[in-house]
Amino acid sequence: MKDIYFSNEMYTMDLNVYHCGIEACHPGHSFGPAVRDHYLIHYILDGKGFFQVNKQRFFLQKGQGFLIYPEIVTYYEADCDEPWHYAWVGFNGLKAENYLKVAGLSQEEPIFTNQSGNRIEEYLVAMVKTAKEHNKELHYEKTLYLQGLLYMFVSELIKNAVSERGYSPNIDLQDVYILQALDFIKMNYSRKINITMIAQSLGLNRSYFSVLFKKKLKISPQDYLLCFRVERACELLKNPILSIGDVARSVGYDDPLAFSKMFKKTKGLSPSEYRKNYIESHL
């Protein structure tokens, strides 16, 4: 598939998705020599090939990935017998380089191998799937959801670096807290969680956590959790088998009425109206 690009303010945020995609390459398919103006990570889902940078050539296969650094000439090519199938995400941001260093990646160390139990592939594929489904109408809420997936993807890279290399440099603990908070929301949004529970999972005071979250992401944790649940609800509403009550419970609301009020306040129409509009637009 072709790249899916986003017109975001990529240089003014800590970390921001620029584009992503997935491709099963033809034998010998290559790209470059070329220079990028952003960070770009490829992860190999299957097959093999090689990546070349700074006169070094790395032969890679399924379960490995490589980082393309901005303003550096690179070249990569699929194997002629077992061409690789890879997914990628391009990103930038004020703290992108710092996060990558924490994950053990740099110009000198551009390669990583996914260790068992990590969710690098899961989050990257989820980003591509989300972008593909919504590239025509990428609203703020969906952009925020993609940002959350990117943070979780990077969080997995950091965890992977520790298990792969025993790598544990001096890091900004505040950034780690945010990555862990986003991961907690992704894993628990369907439960009746609140901001206090998220803060406690990190061992932080609720007030301190709220201030830190808003400082780092420019949105309160309450609003982020709300947007996350609403976007997940939008996906579930497209399934006609699920009732409004089913959708409500699936995103952490026992009371369908409370869910409907929250949804309408956020989206400007009720869940049933949203479902009706979706069905009519796909007839």
For the chain, how many structural domains are there in total?
Answer: 1
Summarize pLDDT for 215-242 with one digit per residue, the tens: 988 899 999 999 999 999 999 999 999 9
Summarize pLDDT for 189-200 with one digit per residue, the tens: 999 899 999 998
Q: Is residue 226 part of a domain?
A: no
Q: Using the predicted structure, report yes or no on whether residue 74 has a pLDDT greater than 60.
A: yes
Label residue 163 by pLDDT band (50, 70, 90).
Answer: low
What separation in angstroms does the CA of 19 have from each of 74, 114, 130, 164, 211?
18, 22, 12, 27, 30
CA angle (16, 215, 106) in 5-degree steps: 40
User: What sections of the chain are H helices per DSSP?
Assistant: 96-102, 120-134, 140-165, 173-188, 195-202, 206-217, 221-237, 244-250, 256-267, 271-281
Return d(Cα 23, Cα 240) in angstroms, integer.
31
Q: Is residue 140 part of a domain?
A: no
Q: Is residue 53 part of a domain?
A: yes
Q: Is residue 103 part of a domain?
A: yes
Summarize pLDDT for 256-281 with one digit per residue, the tens: 999 999 999 999 999 999 999 988 88
Nearest to 221 by CA among 111, 144, 159, 280: 144
Q: Is residue 171 part of a domain?
A: no
> pTM score, two decimals?
0.67
Label residue 32 by pLDDT band (50, 70, 90).
Answer: confident
Return d(Cα 269, Cα 265) in angstroms, integer.
7
The sign of the CA dihedral 17, 119, 60, 98 is positive
DSSP, collapsed to helix, strand or coil, labels residue 230 as: helix
Domain extent, residue 52, equals 4-122
Average pLDDT score over residue span 125-146: 73
Q: Using the predicted structure, report yes or no on whether residue 155 has a pLDDT greater than 80.
A: yes
Place of tokens 């049933």: 272
The sign of the CA dihedral 31, 69, 61, 1 is negative
CATH of residue 33's domain is 2.60.120.10
Average pLDDT score over residue span 104-130: 89
Summarize pLDDT for 44-73 with one digit per residue, the tens: 999 999 999 988 999 999 999 999 999 999
In this predicted model, which residue has the larger pLDDT, 228 or 117?
A: 228
